[in-house]
Amino acid sequence: MKAYPRSLMLEFQPGARAYLSEIRALSKDLDDNDVFVGMTIKESVWYANYLEESFNGTADRFDGSQEKYLALQDKHEEARQTVIAAESLMRTQKPAAQ
């Protein structure tokens, strides 16, 4: 299993983790790292850091970062919607208990 240093880990407060899990925004990669659905660990860490910088007003929006963020957001949202659709399909295909 590939271990990443702390700088390449996603860390969330319990409430944030619960919310992100509920909306199907989080997943685990093959190395059991928390990642944003549809992203690698490196993409996930970059994305989380960019969001934090953006919320703090310190994000550099003129170095290509904003475009990278938007591309990752699109990739993530598409994957998240796929997970939600698959879960919905599974619920509708379960035979009714009698």
- The reply to whether 97 falls in a domain is no
- The reply to whether 98 falls in a domain is no
Nearest to 44 by CA among 24, 21, 25: 25
- The reply to whether 70 falls in a domain is yes
| 71/97 Cα distance (integer angstroms) | 43
Q: 32-71, pLDDT tens digit by residue?
A: 999 999 999 999 999 999 999 999 999 888 899 999 999 9
**Per-residue pLDDT averaged across 68-85, rounded?**
96
Q: Domain residues for 19?
A: 14-92
- The reply to whether 73 falls in a domain is yes
- The reply to whether 49 falls in a domain is yes
- The reply to whether 8 falls in a domain is no
Residue 47 identity (one-letter amino acid):
Y
| Structural domain count of the chain | 1
CB 30 within 8 Å of CB 60: no
Residue 74 has pLDDT above 90, yes or no: yes
